Each structure stands twice: as C-alpha cells, then as structure tokens.
Amino acid sequence: MIDLKFLRDNPDIVRDSQRARGEDPNLVDQLIAADEVRRTSIQAADELRAEQKAFGKKIGQAAPEDRPALLEGSNELKERVKAAEAAREEAEEQVRRLQYSLPNVVEGAPAGGEEDFVVLEHVGEVPEFDFEVKDHLDLGEALGIIDVKRGTKVGGARFYYLVGDGAWMQLGMLMLAAQKAREAGFTVMVPPVLVRPEIMQGTGFLDQHDEEIYYLERDDLYLVGTSEVALAGYHRDEIIDLSDGPILYAGWSSCFRREAGSYGKDTKGILRVHQFDKLEMFVYCEPQQAKEMHQKLLGLEREMLDAIQVPYRIIDIAAGDLGSSAARKFDTEAWVPSQNTYRELTSTSNCTTFQGRRLATRYRDAEGKTQPVATLNGTLATTRWLVAILENNQNADGSVTVPEALRPWVGKEVLVP
C-alpha cells in the first residue's frame, strides 16, 4: 500500500512509476482526489462532533423550560453528525479501494514489459557437449528419479513424483539452502501453506495473481504459491523490535500454483508444475536498510547457484513485469541446454513498505514513533533447480554427475541409468 503523504508530495514520481509499469497514471489523480475528499469529510465530521459536544453542555446548563427546544435542535444535529460519519466512512473506503489498486512505486527498475529486462552479469561458462543433449525429463526417467506418468495418473497434468535419488537431490538442495540461511543469520521456519484472505491480500498476491492461486471455498483459505505469504503474515498487526538489526526468516514449504494461462507452455517435465518445494528468504527491516538487504539476498542466491555448479545470469526485471508489491526485482536464470536458453531459478524482490503498510507491521524509529517496516524476499532453492542440475551435468552415456555440494545427501558422485 502506497504512503498517502508520499503520494501527495511526489505525484509525478508515482505517475512515472505507473507509466514504467504500463499501468494507468490517471489512477494517481483519482487517489489524490479521493484523499482530498476523505480529509475534508474527516474535518467536517470532527467539527460536527465538536459542535454536538458543545451543544450537549449547553443543554445541560439550560433552564428546564428551554430544554425541549434545545433537544429538538440536538436531534437535528445528531442526524447531521450521523450523515457526516457515513460520508467519512464512504470516503475512507474509496481511498482504501484505490490504494489497494495502486501497485508499489518502482525504484530503479528498467521500464517496459517481460522482454525488457537488463542483463547485469553472466556467471560460469555455458557447457559444450560433443553428444546429443537430453532434456531433464528424458534423463530423469532413464535414471528412475522423475515419474511424470504416475504423477499425472494420480494428480493430473503438471504433477510428478521425485523418486529415490531424485528425492534425495531435492532434499539435499533444500538442506544446503537451509544451512546457508542459518549461517547467514536466518531463522529457519516451516510455515503454514494455507492462509486467510487478509494475509494473501496483504502481501499483494490477490491484486494481479489471483488466477494463479488455489482457493478452498468451503474453508475460505488460500494455498500459498510461496512461503513469502505466510512469513509476511507472521508479524501482522505487530510492532516488532528492529533495534538489533533486520529480522531474517527462511521458510521451507510446499508451494502451489494453478499455472492459469500457461497451457501449452513448458508442459514437459517439472519446469512449470502445480506443486513444488521451496526455501524462501524473508526480511523485515527499516526502510533505509532495504537496498543493502536486497543485495545480501542476491548474494546468497549467488552462493547457492555456484554450489550446484550451473551457469547462470542475473537480470534486472523491467517494471511492467514486477508484481504489484515489488519496487525492484532481480532474477537469476540458469542455462538450460535442451532449450538453448536461460530459465528463471530464483528471484529476489524489494517490496519497500508496501506489504508492511497493508499488514500493519511496524517498528519504532529512533524517536520512538511507529513506522511501517520494509520487507524483502528471495528464493534460495526450489524444485525446478533440478532441471538445470540434471541437464548441465549430463554425460554422454546418460549418466549425471552430482554436484559436489549435494553428494553428502545423495550419497553418490554419479547417477547411472
């Protein structure tokens, strides 16, 4: 949720942000106008309440013979106060509706849409094979570690089983991420995967991504697409202590996405699926610390990608491809040999105070005043990493070399068909 004072003081910045996202800048003017109506209605209601209070004292001090006439005037004033309160509530609801429809203000992201990202860096060398490259599903089926056919039989399209060494590879990857997170000062958590509507709304996921979310109508609960949602809701309606620095959490959970609108895209294998596991970093900090923490999250993602030995690139996501809550986002994309392109493995977003305002999560500043916290998130490991690991480490005979960092969990140096 955008800060109304910032909006009033910097309308051109917010309009430019809307244009960079490809959104309607007129929404800014609508919100400014609605906010002016709200402020006027609050003042009018306050003045009438003060008048009503003074009138009540006048009645109490009046002579008995004068009170009937005064009481008649009091009833009229009471109705005016009631009408003013109703107008104030209506004006506040209009402001709230418009605030919730306005995305976060972009900070430094390039303008444009999905294809307008900026490549910041390439890391590692793209492998060259002197044999015909297999994709991850062909490799996984031959190795007996991925079973999509039975996953489809049991759960439908885009479901799968990870079997034996495939399960151990994922568990090892997530354990490695959890260890790295703990060493970096994060508290590891296993959060709920079902959340209430107000938590999903508070993180911004119902604004643009509601078609991606599984909703359990009978229970009025949502399945999370990332543990970011539950971690963001952990301190809802709280004043948290940031005197010792940012609060760092790492949530390990299963995640669920409907993949609405993606029919025909990445249907083979486990690149785009309905259920997957993920370790997500989440940060609460003071707003002035957010940019530094964003780089810290990106640095940890780098460490994990280096550990699993895949070539990757870092991109600065364009404003039009940001979620509504993110002010800036960096993705890391690993090279996928069978597709001859890079595909997303991680993302890390700086949400500034957008989620903190929505979820009423605050801290006390140096003067003791409560202020909304800044929040950030970043992926440290997830199921789709197996795609890049298998394809980049494949051998001519169909075997796959296990990255050294994962061998303690997998128990093997090479997976053999």
d(CA 57, CA 72): 15
Binding residue per annotation — 377?
yes
Nearest alpha carbon to residue 387 among 347, 340, 343: 343
Binding residue per annotation — 273?
yes
Binding residue per annotation — 228?
yes
d(CA 409, CA 175): 9
Binding residue per annotation — 401?
no
Q: Is 347 known to be catalytic?
A: yes
User: Which residue in 141, 238, 286, 344 is the catalytic one?
Assistant: 344
User: Which residue in 88, 257, 357, 358 is the catalytic one?
Assistant: 257
Nearest alpha carbon to residue 329 among 381, 270, 376: 376
Binding residue per annotation — 226?
yes
Q: Is 15 known to be catalytic?
A: no
Binding residue per annotation — 209?
no
Binding residue per annotation — 136?
no
Q: 139 near 398, Cβ under 8 Å? A: yes
Binding residue per annotation — 350?
no
Binding residue per annotation — 81?
no
Q: 316 near 330, Cβ under 8 Å? A: yes
Binding residue per annotation — 243?
no
User: Which residue in 347, 349, 357, 362 is the catalytic one?
Assistant: 347
d(CA 53, CA 77): 10
Binding residue per annotation — 309?
no
d(CA 349, CA 294): 7
d(CA 62, CA 91): 37
Burial class (CB in 10 A: 0-12, 13-18, 19+), 401: middle
Q: Is 384 known to be catalytic?
A: yes
Binding residue per annotation — 345?
yes
Q: Please tell me what DSSP assigns to residue 31.
A: H
User: Which residue in 39, 67, 80, 272 is the catalytic one?
Assistant: 272
Residues with catalytic function? 257, 272, 344, 347, 384
**Known binding positions:** 226-228, 257-259, 273-276, 280, 344-347, 377, 379
**Known binding positions for ATP:** 257-259, 273-276, 344-347
**Known binding positions for L-serine:** 226-228, 257, 280, 377, 379
